[in-house]
Amino acid sequence: MCGNIPQKVGKMILSAENIKKSYGGREILKGISLSIAKGELKVLIGPSGAGKSTLLQCLNFLVMPDEGDVWLEGKKVNHAKKRDLYAFRQQVGMIFQDFNLFDHLSALENVKIGLVRVRGMDKKAATERAMAELERVGLSNHADHYPAQLSGGQKQRVSIARALAMDPKVMLLDEPTSALDPELIGEVLAVVRDLVANGMTMIMATHQIGFSRAMADEIIFMENGLIVEQGPPLKILSNADCERTREFCSRVTDLYGEAERA
């Protein structure tokens, strides 16, 4: 690692130590450690294949790491116990690139299903909560629409509403705008921006440099399964210690621009 800026002090919500993962003998993660404090937004950047998506999935145990440990609010997660794992996943929401909605369910039903089946809420209370979350992401008037009737940006906002309905302590966002047309990116980033403003704790992989510069507490540059450099946005994007970090940030800024700056 070229540079390591001290993280701001605060109550640590999620921590990971020495996360390793290999597929077919190829190391995808080579020992990643990070932590995030309450209310922080940390952004993961790096080239394709850097390990960003795998790291997020390991943090939520959707992919089981080969080595390493994860703590939620200071308590080590015992992923071998199904009850503990299910309880952990309820508190760590995951937003995917490709939305992962149920095509046969309406927007309302997609948000509501976890409340009924996982949280055990009665249908009336679940409906009220689901509608409240759809209202929060600006989609209450699309509650009865099915995914096929929604734009990509609307689908992603439904998936965010679904995660929010579970009252997560942390949200992990895996390039939530990468599958969207450029004109739809802004509506999803506006929802994320609102979540930041309201104190949601988030780790987000993205190439949206302008958004990251304006909103992130820390940017983490990954490559080849390692954290190369991390620090405040201004440091990483404008004055990074590592030549490779500077090179990547320059290229991704040229490619994506900074039109999405808050």
Q: What is the pLDDT of residues 20-41, one digit of tens each?
A: 999 999 999 999 999 999 999 9
Residue 148 lies in a domain: no
Q: Where are the alpha helices (DSSP H) in 43-201?
A: 52-59, 82-91, 107-117, 123-136, 152-164, 182-197
Give me the CATH number covering residue 236: 3.40.50.300
**Res 8 pLDDT > 70:** no
> What are the pLDDT digits (tens) for 73-126?
999 999 899 999 989 999 999 999 889 999 999 999 999 999 999 899 999 999
Residue 52 lies in a domain: yes
CB 157 within 8 A of CB 187: yes
pLDDT for 256 equals: 59
* Residue 142 DSSP label: G
pLDDT in tens, 153-176: 999 999 999 999 999 999 999 999
Q: Please, which pLDDT band fits residue 1 given cuts at 50, 70 and 90?
A: low
In a domain? residue 178: yes
What's residue 250's pLDDT? 87
End-to-end CA gap in the chain: 29
Residue 147 lies in a domain: no
Q: Which residues constitute the domain of residue 225?
A: 3-102+168-256
Could you tell me the maximum CA-CA distance found in the chain, to the nearest angstrom?
56
The amino acid at 122: D
**Residue 134 CB neighbour total at 10 angstroms:** 25
Residue 152 resides in a domain:
no
Q: Is the dihedral angle over the CA atoms 17, 205, 97, 200 positive or is it negative?
A: positive
Each residue of 137-154: pLDDT tens digit?
Answer: 999 999 999 999 999 999
Residue 92 lies in a domain: yes
Segment 204-211 shows an average pLDDT of 92
Comparing CA positions, the residue from 206, 257, 254, 211 lying closest to residue 233 is 211
Residue 116 within a domain: no
What's the pLDDT score for residue 5? 46
- With respect to residue 50, please indicate whether it lies within any of the assigned structural domains: yes
How does residue 247 score in pLDDT terms, banded at 50, 70 and 90? very high
Domain count, the chain: 1
